[in-house]
Amino acid sequence: GAVVSQHPSWVICKSGTSVKIECRSLDFQATTMFWYRQFPKQSLMLMATSNEGSKATYEQGVEKDKFLINHASLTLSTLTVTSAHPEDSSFYICSAIRDRDSPLHFGNGTRLTVT
């Protein structure tokens, strides 16, 4: 079945640094990718929707200058957490879809810890 690969699976960084998370669709071309954030024991909150070749659409309350999303190709989207702070520590999950009528596939998530 379709696979979405997310890398890294976990990362620890120092406060003030930037971290890039990659989301790749391995066996299909993803016209749309979604980025979610999940706090411990909580639900997934949609951060942004990323369409290949265009600017991401951010959900209300998500800082677009802090969470930079790039969807440069049909198989790769990246989320960069800029100037990370401890409160950015969370579980970030991406998902990808080939087209509107196709199922959504999730990556295994990235655990970010900012010290």
Examine residue 104 and tell whether it contacts another protein (CB under 8 A). Answer: yes
Closest approach of another protein to the CB of residue 9, in Å: 8
Joined together, the tokens standing for residue 24 give 């790749």
C-alpha distances (whole Å) from 80 to each of 2, 27, 28, 43, 55 are: 24, 24, 23, 21, 14
Question: Hey, which residues between 16 and 75 contact another protein (CB under 8 A)?
Answer: 34, 41-46, 49
* Alpha carbon 70 to its chain's center: 10
Closest approach of another protein to the CB of residue 16, in Å: 26
Examine residue 7 and tell whether it contacts another protein (CB under 8 A). Answer: no
Closest approach of another protein to the CB of residue 107, in Å: 5
Beta partners for 24? 5, 76
Q: Do residues 106 and 23 make contact, with C-beta atoms less than 8 angstroms apart?
A: no
Joined together, the tokens standing for residue 65 give 């200058």
Examine residue 103 and tell whether it contacts another protein (CB under 8 A). Answer: yes
Closest approach of another protein to the CB of residue 49, in Å: 6
Region class of 87: left (phi > 0), else alpha (psi between -120 and 50), else beta? alpha
With CB under 8 A as the contact rule, the residue among 50, 109, 112, 114 that binds another protein is 109
Q: Which residues contribute to the site for another protein (CB under 8 A)?
A: 4, 6, 34, 41-46, 49, 91, 93, 95, 103-104, 106-109, 111
